[in-house]
Structure 1
Amino acid sequence: MSDKKLPMASERTEVKSSITNNTTASSSNGIPRNSKSPSELPNDNLEKEHHSTWYKFKESFKPMEHDEIDPNLSDIERANILSSRAPLQRRLKNRHIQMIAIGSAIGTGLFVGSGSALATGGPASLVICYGLVGIMIFCTIQALGELAVAFPVAGSYLIYSSRFISPCWGFTMAWNAALQWLVLLPLELVASGMTIKYWDKTTNSVAWVTIFYVVIAVINIFGVRGYGEAEFTFSLIKVIAVVGFIILGIILNCGGGPRGEYIGGEYWHNPGAFHSGFKGLCTVFVTAAFSFAGTELVGLTAAEAENPRKALPQATKQVVYRIALFYLVSLIIVGVLVPYDNPLLLNGDSSVDITASPFVIAIHRAGIKVLPDIMNVVILVAVLSVGNSAVYGCSRTISSLGDQGFGPKWFTYIDRQGRPMVGIIISLFFGLLCYLAASDKQDDIFTWMMALSGLSTIFTWGSICAAHIRYRRALTVHGRSTNELAFTACFGVWGSWFGVIFNILILIAQFWTALFPLGESPSAENFFSSYLGFVVIIVCYICYMAYELVNNKFILFLRAKDIDIDTGKRCPDVELLKQEVQEEKARLAYKPWWYRTYKFWC
């Protein structure tokens, strides 16, 4: 018997990968290494070689070839296979994923929307509500991370609703998300034009909107790598700005500004920590929830990450730092620098009016020059970042609609560079609604556009948690355990139950404040401008339910024993994956305690 040691599981995987890569190796221009030199190529190939850049660019828009799918499969089986085979290119590096996770939700919700929240509920309500919503978000992203590492498929959480809950609910959530992304791009483009008015009040905002529209379009034409690099830069700027504001805020609070006035906790006593009582607190809950919108975007990157098993766990763990540092600490600083009765906080529509930003107001009150302009540049970057993410999210959502049979087949068009071009074109087409900024009725138009998808994020988060609960239940029913998972949510299934319940509470709070708005008389217009999204969801569900009933395919709720828990796994060999996980745990056990603590939280 040979005494040679067998290679470890991870080593076997690397050897297998190396063999595969060597057998399929080719040069960068697609010509095999043993092919003839350019001088020996036929004339047509010489022409292609001579114009290689233009030729490759033109060819890149041709459709990626797909393998045939068995026509006898069920709709759910077909969707699972298509999502796992989607020819999206895995070009997002670890640094892209980390920065997208950190900076994806740092936008106008934090920089501007927090102003209306402060004016509505006071500084204590601001910290309490954003803190509780932040805990819910952390539980949700942990659940999403577990599912995305196990199934790094195209569509991510859009597929999970169909796969683990029911196709009818999956249809509703997928179109719900599509509406959200479609509306978001024109809204952010209009907001960018309004931000520019801080410096340039004479130029028509349509000119600036056009410039930003072209910039976002060009970024997404470069594919997922272009999006990743742009978001890395945008997020880095936002992170530096927030950290810088926190440091500046501490100095100003201690009396280190130009005016040299010590503030301390004065504004928590006068005018006070709370405002408008319990209803004010509930209103801030709703604002806080919308401020975190976009956090789930990191889940959509799973199918395009170079190594989702390594990148996604780190990204999901870092959500807790973003919540603690970029939201709670910065909002505590805002609360001690700006009193909630400052008239500028409600100067116009706080969702887009940068003069209502408490960050800008705090700097103005300190008497500091230039810095307000820099902060407004950061707000502009945040607006462009959200618009850029809207095109990315919308294009992947539309492609997922086609994969699941919830939309036309041509929705699934993906070119040879891995770009879902149909989705990108549709998103950019709806982005042209930004030119409504020139209309006298722009405020009314965009209010109702936002109302169409106003509750989208709340339902998305709740569905992610529900899908995680159903997946864990399916594992148990199939006699499997979490030992085969490369990453598990730190709060397990209980964190997802908390997420489901908390999202229901947010919906109840939104219903109450929409029906009886703070400081206003009840009206149908106010109610539907806040709760129209719920009506849209009900209509989508009923319509698809009727379609499935006609075709005798309606499934109210997938039973755990019928849930597919294998298709789409990056490592389909369960035993090999278990061994790799155990080896990683064994290696980690020999590391110092500080390293183990770091790996647990990072």
Structure 2
Amino acid sequence: MDDFTMQKTKPYSGSTSTVTPLLTRPKGIKSLSPPKAFDSFRSGPDHAFAPALGENGRQYNAKAAAWNTANTPLVRRLKGRHLQMIAIGGSIGTGLFIGSGAALATGGPASLLISFIVIGSILFCTVQALGEMAVTFPVAGSFSAFATRFIDPAWGFAIGWNYAMQWAITMPLEVMAASITLEYWNLPIPSWASITVFLLFIISINLFSVRIYGEAEYVFSIMKVTAVIGFIILGVVINCGGTQDSGYIGGQYWANPGAFHNGFKGFCNILVTAAFSFSGTELVGLAAAETQNPSKALPTAIKQVFWRIALFYVVSIAIVGLLVPYDNPDLINSNNISAKASPFIIAIQSAGISGLDSVMNAVVMIAVLSVANSSMYGATRTLQALAEQGQAPRILAYVDRKGRPLVAIGSSAAFGLLAYLYTSSVQGPAFTWLLAISGLSSIFTWTSICWAHIQFRKAWLLQGNQLSDLVYQSPIGSIGSWVGFIALIAILVAQFWVAISPVGSTATTPGAQASNFFAAYLAMPVVLLFYVCYKVWYRTRWVTVKDVDLMTGRNEFETAGERRQWKEDKAEWPRWKVVYKTLC
């Protein structure tokens, strides 16, 4: 099968008279003849665009929006190994290496470990649901497009902008964190200079082709994975008394000062921290539109990525909880993102191992830069897909001849300038409120994925399809999506409780209480505002199961002879291979 089948522009089955011949030269971009050195920045040829909004601007055409995302001008150059490392690269970062310190101080080692196991289990349900939909419809925008198609265009608009804002704001936050890691070595480098270098580095990677982005993320992720594995081995040695300055530790910190801190509220408080640490795993679905062979690469990436991340997170968090007591004075609090207070670095320093703390700090810096890189990718691809669906200014849909969404990249790069707030007098409040905007975004995204999958499964069966017709079938089906959906709603309720009455809060005035609430729950009113405004303006309706579009952008591998041959080959596999392929 031609790997680029989905890339070919197909006739729009709606009103053909409304198809614009060249989406990639929208209003505001003139057609010029640039020098050959800049020829690759010109718009890709022969890409049609079906306007998703009516002439009066108040009627939404969901069928045209679906057609645009299915026939995106993004190019398919990512391989399976890129997909696996992109998901890992977007996850192993500040949340694990630095944020786990604040979580440990808030809830204790047992709450921290349980929260990561709970979120990891929810993520398993979510990623399986996303994998099934993304393989069936490897379209631009992924979960935001699925929300528009399977739930409600207004919800797709809200969740898409929520996700784009999450990553657009996370990028400067990660650049700030990378700059702060340099302070560990007391280098005579001004903050503005390091921020500038890091921003230029991240923007440059994203200005290359998506293949270069994939290779960069592949290298970053291998370094982080190697470091985490090395820390796990070292942590076991330290815990067993294998270093010069530390005796046998065992589980003494679970007994004194204790396994739990701040009770059930402490546990609820760090659930969002755990969710933030896992955020980015869903990027594997967003990259489906740029994958060479989604039928083969996506299922493997979906299965392998979860097991790898679950192993790295759960085991490394368990080790950290054994090596660092939650009352360690160096652990970070909510207003401090210093790498000096990373529990990973504290564990190494407490063992009296010289030099390794600097190595770990370098790993932290690489990790946050990797997340910043993934953040820019997530923001640009979501903005480009929103524009293709008529839910963002059309100019953001511009894609050049190398498949780069240049205008979306420029817009995301502009958000990166927020990193310079670190050099201002308002760095503390700025960091708090930027983090508040993106704090719950991943939970909203995962909730939307689970609900979209439930709708998709209902429509799939109602419209006469068999589950065996799916290229990739989630092993836990819609039951897993229901479990994930209900669990995520419960987390939102728990977070509402701790937002009203946060752990350790001494605020007594209404103003201080309101500030604490919005610092923890700002993402909720933002999403609801986006949804209600779009719903009122465009008068969209919830998509009924019988009206769900299951044809536009569907993976053609389902009807190809290769699909039949693949089934025949699978029937001849030995049992060990069947088990391995199911899990990995």
Structure-1-length-normalised TM-score: 0.87
CA change 1:71–1:360 in 2 (3 A) is closer
1:584 CA drift (Å): 2.5
1:295 alignment counterpart: 281
2:538 alignment counterpart: 548
1:538 CA drift (Å): 1.3
Match of 1:419 among 393, 401, 404: 404
Q: Deviations over 1:73-116 (max 9, x none)?
A: 96111111110111111111121112123332111101111111
Structure 2 unaligned spans of 5+: 9-33, 55-59, 508-512
Does the alignment pair 1:528 with 2:518?
yes
8 Å contact from structure 2 (residues 91, 281) kept in 1: yes
2:11 alignment counterpart: none
1:452 CA drift (Å): 2.2
Q: Deviations over 1:374-411 (max 9, x none)?
A: 11111101111111111111111111111111111111
2:442 alignment counterpart: 457
2:468 alignment counterpart: 483
C-alpha separation between the residues in 2 aligned to 1:65 and 1:16? 16
2:579 alignment counterpart: 597
Partner SS, residue 529 of structure 1: helix
Does the alignment pair 1:251 with 2:237?
yes
Seq. identity, %: 51
What amino acid does structure 1 have at the position aligned with 2:290? E
8 Å contact from structure 1 (residues 127, 332) kept in 2: yes
1:430 CA drift (Å): 1.4
1:401 alignment counterpart: 386
1:582 CA drift (Å): 4.8
Does the alignment pair 1:268 with 2:258?
no
Structure-2-length-normalised TM-score: 0.90
Match of 2:527 among 537, 556, 565: 537
Match of 1:313 among 268, 275, 299: 299
C-alpha separation between the residues in 2 aligned to 1:561 and 1:348? 47
Match of 1:278 among 257, 264, 274: 264
CA change 1:63–1:333 in 2 (3 A) is same
C-alpha separation between the residues in 1 aligned to 2:309 and 2:4? 40
Partner SS, residue 178 of structure 1: helix
8 Å contact from structure 2 (residues 286, 381) kept in 1: yes
> What count of residue pairs does the alignment treat as equivalent?
546
1:114 alignment counterpart: 100
C-alpha separation between the residues in 1 aligned to 2:191 and 2:572? 60
What amino acid does structure 2 have at the position aligned with 1:274? F
2:115 alignment counterpart: 129
What amino acid does structure 2 have at the position aligned with 1:197? E
8 Å contact from structure 2 (residues 147, 155) kept in 1: yes
Partner SS, residue 185 of structure 2: coil
Q: Deviations over 1:321-368 (max 9, x none)?
A: 224311111111111111111111136735x22122110000000000
What amino acid does structure 1 have at the position aligned with 2:520? S
Match of 1:365 among 345, 350, 358: 350
CA change 1:454–1:70 in 2 (3 A) is closer
8 Å contact from structure 1 (residues 451, 533) kept in 2: yes
8 Å contact from structure 2 (residues 126, 450) kept in 1: yes
1:392 alignment counterpart: 377
1:453 CA drift (Å): 2.7
C-alpha separation between the residues in 2 aligned to 1:394 and 1:585? 37
1:581 CA drift (Å): 4.2
8 Å contact from structure 1 (residues 347, 355) kept in 2: no
2:419 alignment counterpart: 434
Match of 2:70 among 76, 81, 84: 84
C-alpha separation between the residues in 1 aligned to 2:123 and 2:436? 22
What amino acid does structure 2 have at the position aligned with 1:278? F
2:138 alignment counterpart: 152
Q: Report the structure number with the largest CA radius of gyration.
A: 1
8 Å contact from structure 2 (residues 80, 297) kept in 1: yes
Q: Deviations over 1:43-102 (max 9, x none)?
A: xxxxxxxxxxx9654110001134445669961111111101111111111211121233
- For residues 326-405 of structure 1, what are the structure 2 equivalents within 5 Å? 326-346=312-332, 349-350=335-336, 352-405=337-390
Partner SS, residue 197 of structure 1: helix
2:160 alignment counterpart: 174
1:183 CA drift (Å): 0.9
Does the alignment pair 1:212 with 2:198?
yes
2:90 alignment counterpart: 104
Does the alignment pair 1:587 with 2:572?
no
1:270 CA drift (Å): 1.3
C-alpha separation between the residues in 1 aligned to 2:498 and 2:546? 41
CA change 1:266–1:184 in 2 (3 A) is same
1:548 CA drift (Å): 1.2
Match of 2:178 among 188, 192, 195: 192
8 Å contact from structure 2 (residues 138, 555) kept in 1: yes
Structure 1 unaligned spans of 5+: 1-12, 21-53
